[in-house]
């Protein structure tokens, strides 16, 4: 299933999906050293977002989150790609400077398409994501 969307940060990634249905902040919601979600109000607390395609609705929080995402990329604990319903500037800038593919405004709600454990392709060169079996 190929779903067209808006490209925020170009790139290509494929891999396992992890889905959160709550807003997310890279400042405070995740351990930079491990990529494990530490926010006790998160629906994926204790799960790792490292090297996975991270699907969540919206970002929240401090502008410092931009630099946290860059640090995670340098440490190898960042997501392979990000898919949002609507991306806000903090997440957008973080993904761009960290060179993490990021897409939003998909034709279908990604929270209704993807489940944690699915396999996905994010082609943020051509502007689509795919759910694969």
Q: Which residues are designated catalytic?
A: 62
How many Å apart are CA 30 and CA 61, to the nearest integer?
12
How many Å apart are CA 98 and CA 126, to the nearest integer?
19
| Farthest CA pair distance, the chain | 37
How many Å apart are CA 111 and CA 7, to the nearest integer?
18
Cβ(9)–Cβ(124) under 8 Å? yes
Cβ(123)–Cβ(129) under 8 Å? yes
């Amino acid at each position: 299933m190929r779903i067209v969307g808006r490209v925020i940060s170009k790139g290509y990634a494929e891999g396992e999906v992890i889905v959160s249905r709550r807003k997310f902040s890279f400042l405070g919601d995740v351990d930079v050293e491990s990529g494990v979600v530490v926010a006790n109000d998160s629906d994926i607390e204790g799960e790792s977002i490292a090297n996975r395609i991270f699907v969540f609705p919206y970002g929240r929080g401090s502008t410092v989150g931009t630099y946290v995402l860059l640090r995670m990329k340098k440490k190898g604990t960042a997501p392979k790609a990000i898919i949002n319903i609507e991306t806000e500037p903090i997440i957008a800038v973080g993904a761009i400077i960290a060179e993490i593919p990021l897409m939003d405004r998909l034709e279908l709600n990604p929270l209704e398409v993807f489940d944690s454990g699915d396999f996905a392709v994010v082609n943020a060169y051509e502007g689509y994501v795919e759910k694969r079996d």
